[in-house]
Amino acid sequence: MDYINKYVEENKDRFLEELFGLIRIPSISSIAENKPDMYKAAEYWKKLILEAGADRAEVYETEGNPVTYGEKIIDPSLPTVLVYGHMDVMPVDPLELWNTDPFEPVIKDGKIWARGADDDKGQAFIHAKAFEIMVKNNTLPCNIKFMIEGEEEVGSPNLPKWCADNKEMLKADVILVSDTGMIAPDVPTITTGLRGLSYWEVEVTGPNRDLHSGLFGGAVANPINQLAKMIADMLDDNNHVTIPGFYDDVLEVSDDERALMAKAPYSEQGYKDALNVKELWGEKGFTTNERTGIRPTFDVCGMWGGYTGEGAKTVLPSKAYAKISSRLVPNQQHEKISKLFKEYFESIAPDYIKVNVEYLHGGPSYVCPIDLPEYKAAELALKDTYGKTAVPVRSGGSIPIISTFEEILGIKSILMGFGLESNAIHSPNENFPLEQLFNGIKTIPNFYKHYADLKK
């Protein structure tokens, strides 16, 4: 596909400038005061889609952040691909660990360094440019629709309703998503499973005010000690979650499938070295890839209480807090797990404290069969670029909305991502190698070609 390479070469600098403009908008969906930036990002996407060649594009209001929708319908009898991506990003703290300004992208060592460089501004941008290439070269073989939302990082609370309200407009044969990763830069990967998620904030209250730890220490329960104990009690000695019923609906994976999974390239020493840990950790009886792919988890994402400033303050605090999440696997229902967690957490709270559990967000897990024509099209397109057959993997991450799409719109999603583990998404110094970006832009037009062929 020489015309694709040629077009990319000729427009590289402009592509990067356009992406950088998007990245510079600090569209952090979990911080209320950044709301105006969500609108800036939505308008930016509208312009990207229109300039690439869409018939129309609009910024749609929701109860929360806006959604940018655009489309080009070349022939209603041809297959229709709905591209999904998100314009919102994660918070950037701890800011002091960034080597550069998270919202001022720089290119260094062949990578773009910025929040959103990969997740998901860089990856979603691939589709805008692939679309442009096909339009400008008259090779678009399918109808195309774009749905770029602004609340993915907070669990897409308003997209399900928006999808339901716009079901007719969103009609398509497949949803194409780049928000996942590849095993390595030379190992094309299609994600066939995603974990679900439940996320809670808990508040533990001891005495009604901060107390002098000398005058009251020993007489009154300390809410931090108590919360620590409750958290510790959520995992047993085998690192199984102790919430009753937590594993009841977990889809057990067959020994055959586990054997196939074990063939994915993996170096335990390399994994440990990359994280600088002496030993890995996790649920007994499962390999590392199984623990992140097919098993649910229980992690504290944040905890705070008492005096956290400089030096020493002797205080017996009134309150302690934690943000806690569970990654869930196919067949576990996040609403049910949240209910089980809340009931259990409240049940293990002793009488000398009060607890409050708030459900922050959640989403279901997802599985994609590998015999679908849309899967085959992705496999062929990746082979065109990389010369290898893609590896199907079960990812530990969550894109809660993917299952919801299937539920509401009745459409399967193809998760064809170009991220790498080293891209540090959600972390300081997020980055995206230029090679991944441009390989992505070159791969996607071939997906459309193969998909149109397979659906003929």
**10 Å Cβ neighbour count for 262?**
11
Query: Between 58 and 201, whose beta carbon lies closer to a second copy?
Result: 201
What is the closest distance, in whole angstroms, from the C-beta atom of residue 348 to a second copy in the complex?
12
User: Is residue 109 involved in binding a second copy (CB under 8 A)?
Assistant: no
* 216 counts as binding a second copy under rule CB under 8 A: yes
Q: Is 40 helix (H, G, I), strand (E, B) or coil?
A: helix
Binds a second copy (CB under 8 A): choice among 63, 109, 168, 218 = 218
Nearer to a second copy, 21 or 36 (CB): 36
Give min distance, CB of 416 to a second copy, in A: 17
d(CA 339, CA 359): 9
Q: For residue 408, what is the DSSP state?
A: H
Residue 207 interacts with a second copy (CB under 8 A)?
A: yes
Q: Binder to a second copy among 103, 427, 434, 454 (CB under 8 A)?
A: 427
Question: Near a second copy by CB under 8 A, which window of 77-85, 138-146, 167-175, 300-308?
Answer: 300-308
305 contacts a second copy (rule: CB under 8 A)? yes
CB of 387 to a second copy, least distance (A): 26
The answer to whether residue 184 forms part of the interface with a second copy (CB under 8 A) is no
Is 204 among the residues that bind a second copy (CB under 8 A)?
no
Binding-site residue total for a second copy (CB under 8 A)?
101
Stretch that binds a second copy, among 93-101, 135-143, 251-259, 336-344 (CB under 8 A): 93-101
Interface segment toward a second copy; rule CB under 8 A; list 35-43, 48-56, 135-143, 281-289: 281-289
63 binds a second copy, rule: CB under 8 A:
no
181 binds a second copy (CB under 8 A): yes
Give 76-141 as a DSSP string: TTS-EEEEEEE--B----SGGG-SS-TTS-EEETTEEESTTTTTTHHHHHHHHHHHHHHHHTT---
Quick check: 220 binds a second copy (CB under 8 A)? yes
Binding segment for a second copy (CB under 8 A), chosen from 103-111, 141-149, 272-280, 374-382, is 272-280
Q: Tell me, letter by letter, the H, E, C secondary structure of 199-221.
A: EEEEEEECCCCCEEHHHHECCEC
**Does residue 360 bind a second copy (CB under 8 A)?**
yes
Q: What values do phi and psi take at 142, rounded to 5?
A: -135, 165
Q: Which of 441, 447, 448 is nearest to 382 (CA)?
A: 447
Tokens of 453: 């062929």
Residue in 49, 316, 381, 409 binding a second copy, rule: CB under 8 A: 316
* Sole binder of a second copy in the list 90, 117, 134, 148 (CB under 8 A): 90
The backbone region for 357, taken as left when phi is positive above 0, alpha when psi lies in -120 to 50, beta otherwise, is beta
Q: Please state, in angstroms and rounded to a whole number, the distance separating the CA atoms of residues 184 and 421.
A: 8
Place of tokens 């193809």: 414
Q: Is 121 in the site for a second copy (CB under 8 A)?
A: no
Asked if residue 203 binds a second copy (CB under 8 A), the reply is no
Run of H or E including 345: helix 334-348
Using the rule CB under 8 A, which residue among 53, 160, 282, 373 binds a second copy? 282
Per-residue tokens: 176: 């194409």
Based on the shown chain and the rule CB under 8 A, indicate whether residue 100 belongs to the binding site for a second copy: no
> Nearer to a second copy by C-beta: 75 or 421?
421
Q: Does 247 help bind a second copy (rule: CB under 8 A)?
A: no
The answer to whether 72 and 56 are in contact (CB under 8 A) is: no
Answer for which of 106, 231, 250, 452 binds a second copy (CB under 8 A) is 231
Our measurement of the distance from residue 109's CA atom to the centroid of its chain's CA atoms, rounded to an integer in Å, reads 25
Q: How far is CA 92 from CA 99, 223, 311, 441, 447, in A?
A: 12, 29, 26, 27, 34
Binder of a second copy out of 94, 265, 369, 387 (CB under 8 A): 94
206 belongs to the binding site for a second copy (CB under 8 A): yes
Tokens of residue 57, six digits = 């594009």
Touching a second copy, residues 6-35 (CB under 8 A): 30-32
Provide the minimum distance between the beta carbon of 246 and a second copy in the complex, in angstroms, as a whole number: 13
**Residues 6+ away with beta carbon under 8 Å from 429:** 97, 98, 99, 100, 113
Window 386 to 425, contacts with a second copy (CB under 8 A): 395-398, 421, 424-425
Q: What angle do CA 89, 127, 162 make, to 5 degrees?
A: 60
